[in-house]
Structure 1
Amino acid sequence: MKALTDAHVGEVVKVRKNTAQDSLKERLLALGLTNGADIEILRKGPKNNLTVYNIRGAMIALRGEEARLIEIY
């Protein structure tokens, strides 16, 4: 499976599955990371640790360990 961290800047991907647990899963769902949601990768931070995404019109920054829990296609 391909994770959100595998996507490149400028790419638009869709969420396949949110594999996070407990409160992190709830937070990601509240940010709009639901199945089928479009995500545009806007820019990557230093050392690719922090990445900015456009999710449903909002710019959201996620750490690599959070983005790895989102499966995409």
Structure 2
Amino acid sequence: MIIIDLTSYRCPLPLVKVKMALKQLSTGDSVHVLLSDPGSRQDVPRYLKKIGVCHSIGEDTDTVLSLTVTK
């Protein structure tokens, strides 16, 4: 599984990087995404839900949101 640590980036760059990663994944592949920016923590899951991509939240603390995204 690919791990993308986006904790050092601010919105909208994490969303852009997630979109780019999804384009490179084959159907059934997964990517693990780490987010810390408050805007991205809301925008990325909202976007994934909007486009119908399966995702699950692994960890949701005050500092990090961890998502597993499966195309």
Band the TM-score falls in, shorter-chain normalisation: 0.3 to 0.5
- The TM-score with structure 2 as length reference comes to 0.34
Higher relative contact order (CA 8 A, sep 6+): 1
- Choose between structure 1 and 2: higher helix proportion: 2
- Choose between structure 1 and 2: higher strand proportion: 1
- The TM-score with structure 1 as length reference comes to 0.33
